Structure 1
């Protein structure tokens, strides 16, 4: 912002001087736009963006694997908080949502939360934050999974509405294929949805997916 103000001040002085000298005045709109662009800097390339997403995706996975939930909390979006969806279908009103402050407050406690309804039985799934993260979100070692960014790998019979629910966000997927013993029906995946805030990607959603009845 300071650079932009200085650029505008210099531009004003230049214009005034050229008027006095009877010289043509430069295009003010173009000059201001250029000054603004210079002050903001270049937008990241696709490769840089994907590298940043891979880095934060791996940070989330490592935090979950180590049960380091303080580090996990530090990756939650400071303003939008985080939403957890048990299955591929996102319910923006019904799925469990925490602000960053609430997550940090309740994570160390034994408070039980209802995270959704279990497929098949329809019974409510109740667990502490730690148990949900350790037993549901990270039910398999997703650090050894197949990775993708903004592309789906796994897919079952549950409606996947991630892109409709978060149309401007980026997401990563960590997929573990099923076993031959179970006709590959026991596949699992976890998707992380990110939005940028002050030059850094933060988690706004964690979505698990698997074959449902």
Structure 2
């Protein structure tokens, strides 16, 4: 009886192994095909919503600058990272002026002078209050009537543009004013905003001006 029981167990094990051996071995291709493909329509919709939100924020920032409403402008500054200001296309985090949101709001109403960088050509330091810098340098033209682009450079001058290297994971908008024929279109200027999302809202982390340099 004991021998019969052992024989039956061995036979059952053999049959099970045979069935298992007959099953097809899943290949890497099979595994890949089982993964649900990305919904292209959903991706396109998400991208469109993002671009729309950034375009809206871009325009609101421009309107605040045009109206010299710097309190509203301050509301767009990243709550944790603050904001950097670059006078030209080359971004240098070590020397560019940086403010936390709190410091910007503290000094914006005052007459405190800050050094924002060195002027192209002369190399002289550019000193101004926050209000004067925003009025005379940042919003040096009516950028509300400029040409808009998203993550694309329109103004291309003779200075190094390293924005994408310094902010590789951020989105940026550009507001470009074309140069005049009188000056062989070399008097163009552009204003770029770099954004990062924080708690479901896009905030400014950098303001970068660009123009033809000597």
TM-score past 0.5 threshold:
yes
Q: Which runs of 5+ in 1 are unaligned?
A: 1-41
Check if 1:161 corresponds to 2:166.
no
Aligned partner of 1:207 in structure 2 is 208
Deviations 1:114-172, CA, capped at 9 Å, x for gaps: 00000000000000000000000000000000000000000101100000000100000
Measured in 2, the distance between the counterparts of 1:176 and 1:203 equals 21
- 1:162-193, Cα deviation, whole Å (9 max, x unpaired): 00000100000000000000000000000000
Q: Deviations over 1:79-131 (max 9, x none)?
A: 00000000000001110000000000000000000000000000000000000
Aligned to 1:76: 77
Cα distance between partner residues in 1 of 2:70 and 2:172: 20
Superposed CA RMSD: 1.0
Distance of 2:60 and 2:170 partners within structure 1: 18
Q: Distance in 2 between matches of 1:85 and 1:168?
A: 18
Shift of 1:194: 0.2
Counterpart CA distance in 1 for 2:183 and 2:198 is: 42
Distance in 2 between residues matched to 1:165 and 1:131, nearest whole Å: 26
After superposition, residues 2-151 of structure 1 pair within 5 angstroms as 45-151=46-152
**Corresponding residue of 1:187:** 188
1:17 alignment partner in structure 2:
none
1-structure distance, mates of 2:80, 2:159: 30
TM score, norm. by length of structure 1? 0.80
Paired positions, count: 172
**Secondary structure, counterpart of 2:172 in structure 1:** strand
- In structure 2, the residue corresponding to 1:89 is in which secondary structure? coil
TM-score, length basis structure 2: 0.79
Structure number with larger C-alpha Rg: 2
After TM superposition, what 4+ stretches of structure 1 lie above 6 angstroms from structure 2? none
